Amino acid sequence: MPATPRRRHVLRYLPVLPAVVLLLVFLAGPVLWAFQASLTNAALTGRHARNPEWVGLENYQRLAQDPVFPLSLGLTVLFVAGSAVLGQNVLGLALAVLMRRARPVVAATVGTAVVAAWVLPEIVAAFAAYAFFSRDGTLNQLLGRFGAPDVDWLYAVPMAAVVLANVWRGTAFSMLVYRAALNSVPAELLEAAHMDGAGAWQRFSFITLPVIRGSIATNLMLVTLQTLAVFTLIWVLTAGGPANASTTLPVLAYQEAFKFGDIGYGTAVATVLILIGAVFGAAYLRLLREQKP
């Protein structure tokens, strides 16, 4: 019996059904639970841990009145812009371009050094960064050779320290994405532009960047969403301090939920973080659609 158009349409999507089920169970389920918990006074201990009560939008009203929340929101934007949009994205592209022109031995050495930080477990990378920025760490030891005084970088400039640490750990991903993207740039276009008198910067600006703009948007989306969720690195380096100077939204959510035991309020912070990620994702996906011919 021949398949009807409707049946063929259903069979076409049948192979992706297991993936959809897994997404619903392991992604949509926790997100819905977090939103539901944010509307209650659920706690880590006490009577509300066993029998949480419905409080509606009370936790979100507390967010609007909490002076730490706008500070954490601003620090999260600063962290994402500094370490993902500018740091990892720009540095990854620069490394990919330089490694493409470098000698094979130099490119392999630099690539290995950059990727080594990425393949480390996050907790190991966090302790390595702590050993570098602490008062008795590597940075002060190096600067001390030039007569510079010891500085507690994690106390003096905590956000700069965590931004640099995240750039160090995450740049490898952007570098690999852009190395693959640069291979898709037609060599004949570059050669033709060179013969027409275009300099290296002109060829990069008017040929390379437009060709790889889809990869740029994709990479921006991925590193932005990944950076929004960074917790371990910041917690090991500064634990959100000093005086909330490096308390991003993931750190704030953890503190409220597990340090102070207010699960409802902590999940409200986490829900706001999910919404911010959804806005970023939707914006990047729209950008990708607009770039399609």
pLDDT, tens digit (0-9, with 9 covering 90-100), for 9-46? 667 777 777 887 887 788 788 888 888 989 999 998 88
Q: Is the confidence at residue 225, as pLDDT, over 50? A: yes
68-291: which CATH number, 1.10.3720.10, 3.40.50.720, 1.10.3210.50, 2.30.40.10?
1.10.3720.10
Contact present, 122 and 233 (Cβ < 8 Å): yes
Domain boundaries, the chain: 1-26, 68-291
* Gyration radius (Cα) of the chain, Å: 24
| Measured distance CA(191)–CA(182) in Å, rounded | 15
Q: What six digits make up the tokens of 70?
A: 């706008």
Q: What pLDDT shows up at residue 1?
A: 45
Which residue reads 């590597």 in tokens? Answer: 138
Q: Inform me whether the pLDDT recorded for 125 exceeds 60.
A: yes
Q: What phi and psi, each to the nearest 5 degrees, are found at residue 54?
A: -75, 125
Q: What pLDDT, in 10s, does the model give residues 245-287?
A: 999 999 999 999 999 989 999 999 999 998 998 888 888 777 7
Mean pLDDT of the 97-104 span:
84
Number of neighbouring beta carbons within 10 Å of residue 3:
10
> What one-character DSSP code corresponds to residue 114?
H
On whether the CB atoms of residues 208 and 60 are closer than 8 A, the answer is no
pTM for the model stands at 0.87
Q: Hunting for tokens 């393949």 — which residue is that?
A: 119
The residue among 234, 221, 116, 222 whose CA lies nearest residue 168 is 116
| Eight-class DSSP state of 103 | -
- 3 state DSSP class of 61: helix
Q: 78: burial class by Cβ within 10 Å (0-12, 13-18, 19+)?
A: middle
Q: Tokens standing for 158?
A: 């905590």
Kindly report the number of other CB atoms within 10 A of residue 77's CB atom. 15
CA distance 177 to 172: 9
| CA of residue 242 relative to chain centroid, distance | 23
pLDDT at 227: 93
